[in-house]
Amino acid sequence: MNQGIKVSGCISFIGFASGWGAQVRATEQGPDALYKSGILSTLPVSWEWKETLFPLKSAQDLHLPSGKETLPYIEDMCKRTALSVGEVLQRHHFPVVIGGDHTVAAGTWAGVAFSLKNKQKLGLIWIDAHMDAHTMETSPSKAYHGMPLADLLGYGDSSLVNILENGPVLNPQHVCLIGVRSYEEGEAALLKRLGVRVYYMSEVQERGFDTVFQEALHHVKQGTTGFGVTIDLDAFDPEDAPGVGTPESQGLKAQEALPALTILQRDPDLKALEIVEYNPERDRGGKTLSLIRDLLINILPNSEIMQKIDI
Ligand SMILES: [Mn+2]
């Protein structure tokens, strides 16, 4: 890590208002719904809403099927996200990207790795009900939000693999998935072949979230110069997060996960956070919205830690 340059600023939110990668596209309304809800005003940290990025055309207006036809919108959005995240880090602020569907991850983490010059030295904890590690060849749905982890590992459309520079953003050794319980053979085979550590939901239930998370944290910090966390809200049980694009039963319990995540608040190696797949149309009684608030309160670094983050 570079020495002597300290984070001096605040939390910078970037909204990714796109559902182009999903079959259910209302997640494009997620960032606006979060911003307008007013819950951010209750955060105990200083923050700014840097910008909301919108696709060239709304996915809900244009009824294109999932697959190649949607790629131009997705690659444009991912590239703009990568650049925006880079601007945040160059100002020594802490980026929080709000989706939108999970295709954004291909842009967010490309932007972090490029800006911090730690390509293949960036750890990533991927909290999700799914693996998001398909390629167009293995995906039954052809929806791009099932592919961003494969893109980051170097497998996928070249426009999504090589967003700011050529070559894979992540080394598979530095990646962990937590909460997986719905996946297809092709993506599981890719992750297995690459040696990516997957903590399936069954293992989380057996060993407890706290134990698994601490192990995952240790894993992504080994041999890396910083790490990130991406949270697909569908990792959580639909009881705690009904407002998501693709709900899956038997998920993480917020009550169990939130206390364990507070360890991140004190970790100066955490460089960025991403929370995705919020679908306000499906939320019930503001449950998902309040989960997002609780995640932010439990994870975001306080101002004391902000002074210690080397970028
Ligand atoms: Mn996902």
DSSP 230-247: EEEGGGB-TTT---BSS-
Q: Among this protein's residues, is 130 annotated catalytic? A: yes
Q: Is 277 a catalytic residue?
A: yes
Q: Which 8-state DSSP code applies to residue 16? A: E
CA 8 to chain centre: 24
187 and 131 Cβ atoms separated by less than 8 Å: yes
Cα 132 to middle of ligand 1, angstroms? 6
pLDDT of residue 7: 42
Out of 101, 232, 237, 248, the active site residue is 232
CA of 103 from ligand 1 middle (Å) equals 8
Question: Which pLDDT value is given to residue 1?
Answer: 33
pLDDT number for residue 149: 98
Catalytic residue at 283?
A: no
Cα–Cα distance, 202 to 241 (Å, whole number): 19
Q: Ligand 1 centroid vs 5 CA: distance in angstroms? A: 33
Q: Domain 11-306: which CATH class? A: alpha beta
Instruction: Give the pLDDT confidence score for residue 301 in this predicted structure.
Output: 85
- 173: Cβ–Cβ under 8 A, 6 or more apart, which residues? 195, 222, 223
pLDDT of residue 9: 61
Q: Quickly tell me which residue has 């459309």 as its tokens.
A: 157
Determine the angle formed by the axes of helices 104-115 and 71-90, rounding to 10 degrees.
30
* Ligand 1 mean position, distance from CA 275 (Å): 10
CA distances (Å), origin 181, targets 118, 250, 306, 308 = 30, 8, 35, 37
- Catalytic residue (choose from 28, 101, 132, 157): 132
| Dist. CA 230 → ligand 1 center (Å) | 9
For residue 301, what are the contacts with CB-CB under 8 A and spacing of at least 6? 45, 94, 264, 265, 266, 267, 268, 270, 309
- pLDDT tens track for 142-168: 999 999 999 999 999 999 999 999 999
Residue spans per domain, the chain: 11-306
The stretches in the chain having pLDDT less than 50 are 1-8
134 is catalytic: no
Q: For this structure, is 61 an active site residue?
A: no
pLDDT of 302 reads 74
Residues 107-116 as b/e (b if ≥16 CB within 10 A, e otherwise) read bbbbbbbbbb
